[in-house]
Amino acid sequence: MTSTLRRLAFFTALIVIWEIIFRIYSQQTSLFPSPSGSVQQLYIGLFETGILATALAESLQRIVIGFTLAVLIGGFLGVLLGVSKIADETLGSLVIALQSVPSIVWLPIALVVFQGGAGAIYFVVILGGTWAMTLNVRMGIKNVQPILLRAAKTMGYKNTELIWKVMLPASIPSALTGARLAWAFGWRALMAAELIGRGGLGRTLMDARDFFNMDLVVAIMIIISCIGLIVEYFLFSKIEKKVLSRWGLTNSGS
């Protein structure tokens, strides 16, 4: 049985269990979401009213911008911490401390600073992904094999040239891990921020809850989960296989 068939069988079993639980609880309350009702809300929200389509587009725009900035900022900080001992001992300690603070904790301050605008949500998303990217790039830079550095110095590479042509290429597998974590943390931070902020899937989910439309709540949760699966399997996994194969860390045929 292929991986696709196993996953299909697994999710089919989950839906069957969900339907059974729904039939049990539907006799006690009308608020318990059903599989058919959630699918119906998905169709209505995406293709009829367009509510979910609009919210999805807004959330995707936010995560793409926030994730891109997090990768750029985190990558720059990671290289700085990796090549500078002074920066690592000072700024690096701050980065480690900030990593332990959930990015959503910054939302109240961000709402005040950005006066409740979209900038507050972007700020939280960027914070959510930056530190993971920073620490993974730093680790990649510091774990470059000494023999590569000695060989490069023997060939005449110095300072900036050493960083760009040796350290950065060698740290790409770690940077990819950082980007994957930056996406995951940023996506979670976005959903949490939108619950309190304006627009997007998070805000729509809260509105659905306020109107006791649990089928719509589950429909939005399905969208959020599917976006995560799509990004993981159709983006990061494919890039990871190519990178690991290119760097000789796995068999090209695996």
User: What are the residue boundaries of the structural domains of the chain, listed by start?
Assistant: 3-25+34-246
Which class would CATH give 3-25+34-246? mainly alpha
| Res 154 pLDDT > 60 | yes
Comparing C-alpha atoms, which of 176, 179, 205 is closest to residue 190? 205
Long-range contacts formed by 244-249: CB under 8 A, 24+ apart: 244/173, 247/172, 247/173, 249/173
Q: What is the DSSP string of 13-50?
A: HHHHHHHHHHHHHTTT-S-S--HHHHHHHHHIIIIIS-
Cα separation, 47 vs 6, whole angstroms: 30
Split at pLDDT 50, 70, 90, the class of 240 is confident
Split at pLDDT 50, 70, 90, the class of 53 is very high
Q: How far apart are the first and last CA of the chain?
A: 17
Task: Give 183-224 pLDDT, tens digit per residue.
Answer: 999 999 999 999 887 789 999 999 999 999 999 999 999 999
The pTM (predicted TM-score) of the whole model is 0.88
Average pLDDT, the chain: 89
Instruction: Report the pLDDT value the prediction gives residue 49, as an integer from 0 to 100.
Output: 93
Task: Give 60-91 pLDDT, tens digit per residue.
Answer: 999 999 999 999 999 999 999 999 999 999 99
Comparing C-alpha atoms, which of 254, 198, 200 is closest to residue 227? 200
